[in-house]
Chain A
Amino acid sequence: MTGIRMNKFIYFGKKLLLFLMSIVVLSVAVFFITRLAPGDPLVSYYGERAEKMGPEERAWAEEKLGLHESMPVQYVRWLTNVMRGDFGISYKYKRDVVGVIGERIGNTLLLGGIGFVLIFCLALLLGILCARHEGKLPDRVICGIGTVSSCIPEFWLSLLLVLIFAVNLKWLPSSGSYTAGGPGQWPDRARHLILPTAAVVLGHLWYYAYLIRNRILEEVRADYVLLAKAKGLGRHSILYRHCLRNVMPAYLSIMAISVPHILGGTYIIEVVFSYPGLGTLLYESARYKDYNLLMLLCMLSGIAVILSNLAVQMINERGYGNDERQ
């Protein structure tokens, strides 16, 4: 018993170590790449004024922002500040980075979360539907439409949606998260969410539905299905009680894999709809060299991705933490 517990301990310890290592490497990479990039962070802090500065003024400004030191020193200082919970200020908004992100993160989580849930509910339904009618008309039609839909680039899909529903039919607003003039109420927000969510869902749905469909079809060809059939079980109870249960681990790991993809897609769609979320923030900070903000945003997305990759690994290796069972 203690042996098993010990092995589990080691297993999670290893995963934790890997997680920390990945984060450190990620932070070093992002830090150095951003600092090496051409472009002037002073412009984003001082605006137009930065270009007219004399050399002395520049030196003073750089010292104030802590940009005068060598890069390793800057990194170490950034790291120690982070350890103390201080992520620095945004050069553009001249405020604490955490505050700037805190305002926007809710919007992204809402859009991405609704999209994620919808994608996986619909993907499972479509997967089952296709698998039940394998090779017949419904399956072929859905597969055809799905293949086409998965080939449409996200940003163009969003453009199309705006063109159709906002510009021509004038049903839905095309940008923002609420009508200008004060934060709107929930119905207003929901109306602004429809198009971006539709873009997120349509852009990703088929990829996952197809994976699930194929996984179910693989399962249906297993020998136990034949046994269950011989035992006299009906098609439905074989599919829903036995096959789907075996598909669930794969479904979970597909869900975990999808996090980075859906996150990236959400970022792009946010930019197209100028939806005030992390995507637009990331885009702005990359353009205007808002170092501290860019750093934290990259780290946040990176951590989400690393965590989901770890989750995939742990789902796929479940039970292997203790060697006796292997």
Chain B
Amino acid sequence: MTKDSKFEIVGIRRLPCTESVKQKKRKRRYRDKPIAAAAILVLIVLACLLCELVMTGDPASLDLRSCSVPPGREFLFGTDTMGRDIFSMIWYGGRISLFIGIASTLLSTVLAVILGAASGIAPARIDALMMRLTDIFLSIPSLPLVILMQAVLGQANLFSISFVLGITGWMSIARVVRSEVRRIRNSEYLIAAKCMGGGFFHILWKHLTPNFIPSIMFMVVMNVRNAIVAESTLSFMGIGLPVEEVTWGSMLSLSENALLTNAWWIILIPGSFLTVTLLCITSLGNYLRGKGNTGQSNL
């Protein structure tokens, strides 16, 4: 029996009460919340945003005398095969990687919401047509599509690659938006809003968006993650951003030379930052999706 319970609990299966109510409450408040993930993500994002303060050197300066220097006092994370300081590049490049992730997700979400809602509100025939088109878009393998689009836009830069990733990533969100909108399209409040002369965007923003935001939130967060992965994969393969444009992916594109000289830090460090960031984003996304299986198992 603990100090702060006033009654003695008796019975056949008396369970010893080891935790105080306060502790229990605190535990419940923090349980299943991705506190650590959020903290690490905030740290990385802040460091990337304020990279001028964090950097110890110029990420763009090529110091040919110190190529592939292992991590040490002067270069905290070593230098790459072109003699650039990896520690500075991580923060500087992270800013660009994160920007691409967020910008392309913004574009794809806006596209998805507008197209999905339009398709959901539209009469059945137009809706079917739009969904068929979405299916066809979905059926085009995304990697070749991105490579192709990138080739069309010419030399890649920050905005073109965000644009390409945004325009190839809206389909699955649009489907969810459309089915949510179809579910509520005949509600009284929507009809009332329409009768009072509300336009498409007014209804979309005031009445539809609040309804489907919870169900697409998870996909939106995952979209950020997918965009970052896609960008780094493309840059790594040499069809995304050029080596001079520092991102986590383009830093890894030097890894072929690094493998030959066994310079592990060139591969390991940017990749770990990329992975940790993705992991944090994923845990946040999983939290937003909410718990899948509640209730007692029958087995």
**Using a CB–CB distance below 8 Å, which chain A residues touch chain B?**
18, 21-22, 25-26, 29-30, 33-34, 36-39, 134, 147-148, 150-156, 159-160, 162-163, 167-168, 174, 214, 217-218, 220-223, 225-226, 229, 235, 238-239, 243, 260, 263-264, 267-268, 271, 282-283, 286-287, 297-298, 301-302, 304-306, 309
Contact = CB atoms under 8 A, between A and B. Distances in A.
Given A38-B154, A147-B283, A159 B259 contact: yes
B12 interface: no
A155 B292 contact: no
A305 B141 CA distance: 7
Contacts of A153: 229, 232-233, 271, 274-275, 278
A83 B157 CA distance: 40
Given A147-B279, A151-B278, A38 B132 contact: no
Nearest to A239: B299
B141 A302 contact: yes
Nearest to B142: A264
B148 A286 contact: yes
A34 B150 CA distance: 10
**Which 9 A/B pairs are nearest by Cβ-Cβ distance?**
A225-B298, A37-B151, A156-B271, A151-B278, A151-B279, A306-B139, A301-B141, A220-B299, A217-B293
A225 B297 CA distance: 9
B275 A156 contact: yes
A298 B282 contact: no
Contacts of B292: 214, 217-218
A239 B274 CA distance: 39
A302 B139 contact: yes
Contacts of A217: 292-293, 297
Contacts of A151: 225, 275, 278-279, 282
Given A225-B298, A302-B141, A304-B141, 6 more contacts: A29-B140, A150-B282, A153-B275, A218-B293, A221-B296, A282-B147
A151 B271 CA distance: 11
A260 B293 CA distance: 28
Contacts of A222: 298
Q: Tell me the dominant secondary structure on chain A's binding face.
A: helix
Contacts, number: 146
A81 to B, nearest CB: 21
A236 B232 CA distance: 45
A33 B283 contact: no
Nearest to A306: B139
Contacts of B283: 147
A235 B299 contact: yes
B143 interface: yes
B134 to A, nearest CB: 11
Nearest to A30: B148
A152 B275 contact: yes
Interface residues on B, range: 35 or more
B54 interface: no
B252 interface: yes
A278 B225 CA distance: 26
A75 B139 CA distance: 21
Contacts of A155: 232-233, 236-237, 252
Contact of B279 (A148, A159, A214): A148
Interface in B264-286: 264, 267-268, 271, 274-275, 278-279, 282-283, 286
B281 to A, nearest CB: 8
Contacts of B148: 30, 33-34, 37, 286, 298
A221 B298 contact: yes
Contacts of B239: 283, 286-287
A298 B144 contact: yes
A283 B132 contact: no
26 contacts: A30-B148, A33-B152, A37-B148, A37-B151, A38-B154, A39-B151, A147-B279, A151-B275, A151-B279, A153-B278, A155-B237, A156-B275, A160-B268, A174-B259, A217-B292, A217-B297, A221-B293, A221-B296, A268-B143, A282-B144, A283-B237, A286-B144, A298-B141, A298-B144, A301-B141, A309-B139
Contact of B255 (A21, A159, A243, A271): A159
Contacts of A134: 297
Nearest to B253: A155
Contacts of B259: 159, 162-163, 167, 174
Contacts of A154: 233
Contacts of A34: 148, 151
A174 B268 CA distance: 17
A126 B122 CA distance: 43
Contact of A18 (B132, B149, B298, B299): B132
B135 interface: yes
B196 interface: no
B279 to A, nearest CB: 4
B16 interface: no
Contacts of B143: 264, 267-268
Given A229-B298, A271-B237, A22 B262 contact: no
A222 B255 CA distance: 50
B139 A268 contact: no
